[in-house]
Amino acid sequence: MKILFHTNQLSLRGTEVALFDYAHYNEELLHNESIIAVKRAGPHPHHPLVVEKFQQRFQVFYYDTLPQLQQLAKDEKADIFYALKSGENDGLLLPGIKNCVHAVFIHYDPHGEVYAYISEWLSQTITGGAIPYVPHIVHLPDVAGNLRQELNIPENATVFGRYGGWETFDIPFVKDLVGTVAAKNPDIYFLFMNTENFGSKLNNIIFLEGAAELDYKAKFIKTCDAMLHARCQGESFGLTCGEFSIFNKPVITCNADFIRERCHIDILGSKGLYYADYEQLENILSNFTKEPQKNWDAYSQQYSPAAVMAKFKKVFIDD
């Protein structure tokens, strides 16, 4: 069984993290073959670290036109074409092959032989559970150490961290509050990776370049005492929230009425720390107490490689 996995771009975003994991564990756990097809001119430039990561692990093919992609599937004798995308029918379907569409956003536009969502929340919200779902895998290596010494962060400091899409830390009052809390509390640090620098010059607000290396991401999380999440759109899955959670770090996230995509809130449940406005978040950050003995993990059991790939097999391969 050979699966051709498709992506429009190779970025640091969760979509490519998820695609890599599906392709990797398709081989490691399901014992199938995975190859990767990438649109040469994607919506954004391919990130060199992600290009390197994929090319070291898989055969990666670049294409320009749909006929080229169709010919690739034919030449490689692929059995399944898998596309992780918005969910709209963009015409990306290959004849003579099983097309599996994995929808990321709030769309209902079934096409291909299999159409599934990336979260139970999406499936329930859009179709009342009628359309199947296959969630993302939440998994990082359990490495020793953290980045505190490297970044000159005291061991007794409280660290709130975040990584994700460059522009998706985008709730304005949260950005304002970060500067205010950091200025008042030199023992509170804010650590941002692959995040647009929103102008702070304080020593306890640190911005780092994006990274694709899993050990580094794990050390980043272990540097933090909690995740600070602030995405106006919310999350249709929320991979970074899950990655912090499996390391037993509480996730601080907004549950105001304007948050449209609420999968992460649904999964975190009572293990999340929630704010709806400036004052509520200021109270959480200023009065945060480290509780590493508490169970903050809402993801390990349901979103492990074995659990997810069993669902992947049932939905995309067997049905």
Neighbours of 134 (CB within 10 A): 26
State the Cα–Cα distance between residues 154 and 165, nearest whole angstrom: 27
Strand partners, 12: none
State the Cα–Cα distance between residues 221 and 216, nearest whole angstrom: 9
13: tokens are: 């975003």
State the Cα–Cα distance between residues 19 and 14, nearest whole angstrom: 8
Q: According to the model, what pLDDT value does residue 266 have?
A: 98
pLDDT, one tens digit per residue, over 158-208 is: 999 999 999 999 999 999 999 999 999 999 999 999 999 997 789 999 999
Domain 2-137+304-318 shares a fold with domain 158-286:
yes
76: tokens are: 């490689």
State the Cα–Cα distance between residues 163 and 125, nearest whole angstrom: 27
295: tokens are: 């169970």
Which residue has 């359990």 as its token pair?
Answer: 142
CATH 3.30.70.20 fits 2-137+304-318, yes or no: no
Q: According to the model, what pLDDT value does residue 43 have?
A: 87
Q: Which helix (H) or strand (E) holds 180?
A: helix 172-184
Q: pTM for this structure?
A: 0.95
Residue ranges covered by each domain of the chain = 2-137+304-318, 158-286
Q: According to the model, what pLDDT value does residue 44 have?
A: 87
What residues contact residue 69 under an 8 Å CB cut-off, 6+ apart? 6, 37, 63, 92, 94
Task: Give Cα 5 distance to the centre of its chain.
Answer: 17
Q: According to the model, what pLDDT value does residue 30 have?
A: 99
User: E-strand spans in 131-250?
Assistant: 158-163, 188-193, 205-208, 226-228, 234-235
Q: According to the model, what pLDDT value does residue 319 have?
A: 82
| Sign, CA torsion 166/86/11/245 | positive
User: pLDDT grade, residue 38 (50/70/90)?
Assistant: very high
pLDDT, one tens digit per residue, over 106-157 is: 999 999 999 999 999 999 999 999 999 999 999 999 999 999 999 999 999 9
User: E-strand spans in 40-148?
Assistant: 59-63, 80-85, 98-103, 114-117
Residue 232: which of 186, 172, 290, 283 has the closest Cα?
172
Interaxial angle between packed helices 14-28 and 305-312, expressed in degrees from 0 to 180 and rounded to the nearest 10: 80
Question: CATH for 158-286?
Answer: 3.40.50.2000
pLDDT, one tens digit per residue, over 193-248 is: 999 999 778 999 999 999 999 999 999 999 999 999 999 999 999 999 999 999 99
CB 19 within 8 A of CB 118: no
Q: State mean pLDDT over 55-81.
A: 98
User: E-strand spans in the chain?
Assistant: 2-7, 33-39, 59-63, 80-85, 98-103, 114-117, 158-163, 188-193, 205-208, 226-228, 234-235, 251-254, 261-262, 272-275
Q: According to the model, what pLDDT value does residue 201 have?
A: 86
Q: According to the model, what pLDDT value does residue 135 have?
A: 99
